[in-house]
Amino acid sequence: MIGFSYASQGLSSGGASMFALKKLLSSVTVISLLAALLAGCGLNVARTASATEQGHEFYVPILEYHDVAYVKNWPWALLPGQFASEMAFLKEHDFHTVTLMQLYDAYKYGARLPSRPVVITFDDGHVSNYTIAYPILKKYGFVATEFMVTKAINKKGFLSAQQLLTMQNSGVFAIECHTVSHPHLAKVPLSRVRYEIEKSKEILTKLLGRPVLFFCYPYGSYNAKVVNEVKKAGYLMAVTSHFGYADPVADGGPFTLHRISIHEGLSLAKFAEWLSASLNPHNQIGQTIHKLLHGGLLHSRVEDVEKE
């Protein structure tokens, strides 16, 4: 058993109010775009608004899970029934799970995401992600991301190399990087930071037979030097434990993406509330505006929208 310890993560009221502020700012952006359109600014607006508006398109919840088998006195280990009910909620409310690569394509190149997108992530590589989460995800046709700590592979309570390959080859899971030994990266020497970031990428790439392009900071611990090393190592995006929807504009870039951390005992009502920005019609208006403004002639984009 690897002796990981976990710092308290972003569930403070400060995190929640930041989340509310982001929602408000997002609505303001949509209203500004609508006003500009109604004022007849048309294609001119498309050029000036593209960066902000692309950020809005990328405004997506990334759920952060750890263990989905109950562990006493550890808030990040859920009862399996809680996880199952949350997945059923996503299915019933027409959420579409997407990979981090799909999210990157949307952010970087304006690729279109399905309606009501959500990313499901698991940190550390607990064996319950295979025994409990994997069959549930498979049943719903969902995709998810496993952020694996490479030193934990084949250790008791954690995923084996064979399980990781099965999860990947099924198409249900993308396996991504969470360092070699799970240190607080902001508190260790730069040489150790480089080793943790580069060696784990090398180990997983060799095991999985594919490039590993996304990174997760243990304990959400990072600083400017750590981010720089993650970029230099060739990762495309990285996630933190800051609470909120992911938005590369508001979050300060694609290497400090926010997530929504799910803890043991969270009520389904609270889960729904945290995802309410996706359920809110404003977000759909935002996506319609995006379709109107994002490339091509305005009139042809309107026809596209009307067909849907």
Query: What are residue 10's DSSP bridge partners?
Result: none
Q: Does 220 bind Zn ion (CB under 5 A)?
A: no
Number of residues interacting with Zn ion: please give it, by CB under 5 A: 3
- Least distance CB 7 / Zn ion (angstroms): 10
Q: Could you count the other beta carbons within 10 Å of the beta carbon of residue 219?
A: 20
**Quick one: how far is CA 182 from the chain centroid?**
19
The smaller minimum CB distance to Zn ion, of residues 4 and 89, is found at 4
What residue is closest to Zn ion based on CB?
123
Q: Is the Cβ of residue 4 or residue 140 nearer to Zn ion in the bound state?
A: 4
Of 67 and 123, the one with the shorter C-beta distance to Zn ion is: 123
- Contact segment (CB under 5 A) with Zn ion among 16-24, 32-40, 212-220, 250-258 equals 212-220
* Cβ closest to Zn ion, residue 42 vs residue 183: 183
CA 154-206-135 angle, to 5 degrees, is 50
| Residue (180 or 293) nearer to Zn ion, CB | 180
At closest approach, how far in Å is the CB of 91 from Zn ion? 27
Cβ contact 266:80 at 8 Å: no
> Where does this chain touch Zn ion (CB under 5 A) — which range of 41-49, 214-222, 254-262, 278-286?
214-222
Sequence-separated (6 or more) residues with CB below 8 Å from residue 245: 19, 22, 23, 59, 60, 61, 62, 258, 260, 277
> Smallest distance, Å, CB 178 to Zn ion?
6
Q: How far is the CB of 267 from Zn ion (least distance, A)?
A: 24
Q: Is 88 exposed, middle or buried (0-12, 13-18, 19+ CB in 10 A)?
A: middle
Q: Among residues 173, 58, 48, which one has the least CA distance to residue 109?
A: 58
Any idea which residue has 């694996």 for tokens? 148
- Could you tell me the smallest distance in angstroms from the CB atom of residue 82 to Zn ion? 19
Question: In the complex, what is the shortest distance from the CB of residue 20 to Zn ion, in angstroms, rounded to a whole number?
Answer: 27
DSSP state of 113: P
Question: If you write DSSP's letter for every residue of 120-146 in order, what string do you get?
Answer: EEEEE-BTHIIIIIHHHHHHHT--EEE
The number of residues making up the chain comes to 308
Nearer to Zn ion, 58 or 122 (CB): 122
Closest CB to Zn ion among residues 86, 146: 146
Which C-beta is closer to Zn ion: that of 53 or that of 123? 123
Please select the residue that binds Zn ion; options are 10, 61, 125, 218, rule is CB under 5 A.
Answer: 218
Give long-range contacts, CB 8 A cutoff, 24+ apart: 160-166.
161/207, 163/127, 163/130, 164/125, 164/207, 164/208, 165/207, 165/208, 166/130
126 DSSP β-pair partners: 158
Query: Of 114-122, 166-174, 213-221, 290-298, which segment contacts Zn ion by CB under 5 A?
Result: 213-221
| Smallest distance from Zn ion to CB 241, Å | 9
Mark 93-132 with x for binding to Zn ion (rule: CB under 5 A) and - for no binding: ------------------------------xx--------
Residues near Zn ion, by CB under 5 A = 123-124, 218
